[in-house]
Amino acid sequence: MKTNRLFIALVVLVLALLACQAISGGSSTEAPSVPSGDGGDTGGAEAPTAEDSSGGDSSTGSADFPMPSDATNVMELGADVLNFQTKSTLDESMAFYRDEFGGMGYKERDLLTVTSETTFSMVFDGHASGKALIVQGVDLGDGTTNISITMQDI
In order along its 154 residues, the chain shows pLDDT tens digits of 555 555 565 555 555 555 545 445 544 444 443 333 343 333 333 333 333 333 334 444 445 799 999 999 999 988 899 999 999 999 999 999 999 999 999 999 999 999 999 999 999 999 999 999 999 999 999 999 999 999 999 8
Distance CA 129, CA 20 (A): 29
Task: Report CA 74 to chain centroid distance, whole Å.
Answer: 9
Distance CA 58, CA 111 (A): 27
Please give the CATH number for the structural domain made up of 2-37+44-152: 3.30.310
* Per-domain boundaries in the chain: 2-37+44-152
